[in-house]
Amino acid sequence: MARPVILLLSGPNLNLLGDREPEIYGTESLMDHVGTARERAQDKGFDLEHIQSNHEGDLIDAIHAARKRVASIVINAGALTHYSWSLHDALSAYDGPVVELHLSDPKKREPWRHLSVIEPVAISSVVGKGGAGYLEAIDIAINACSATDG
């Protein structure tokens, strides 16, 4: 039987992690974080798909393609978090649990980062924990799947 899938989505500029503002986002690359998340998911019997895009529409297409197929979505939407109501609507139309993830804590930063349009459609938001947040977000996603299973 195919293993259930967690979809990890990474928004704009996250491809630059490790190099981009390391004092805020750390020195690990996005691929380091994806590796950590994938290992955790696999240990718990799930597969992990990862998509990074700098384009809002690509992320929306990926969410549409996840409907009725993917067990849960973990999303770090980057700055789209703060204004992409299209992303909000796509996630509202998705049928599984959504976990919001950020390396930093946006609510402790500039005022324009304080609004998250992802938060209202997420079961949980993991913020300000750096790379460790990937493990926590995967665990929350998997627990939510198990809770709704059968």
Task: By CB under 6 A, name the binding residues for ligand DQA.
Answer: 13, 76, 78-79, 81, 102-104, 106, 113
* Minimum CB distance to ligand DQA smaller for 78 or for 96: 78
Of 117 and 142, the one with the shorter C-beta distance to ligand DQA is 117
For the question of residue 33 being annotated catalytic, the response is no
Annotated catalytic residue, options 25, 33, 88, 94: 25
Contact between 37 and 101 under an 8 Å Cβ cutoff? The reply is no
Catalytic site includes residue 134: no
Instruction: Report in angstroms how near the CB of residue 74 gets to ligand DQA at its nearest.
Output: 12
Closer by beta carbon to ligand DQA, 81 or else 84: 81
- DSSP structure class, residue 9: E
> Which of 74, 68, 28 has its CA nearest to residue 48?
74
Residue 128 near residue 104 (C-beta atoms within 8 A): yes
Is the separation of the CB atoms in 119 and 92 below 8 Å?
no
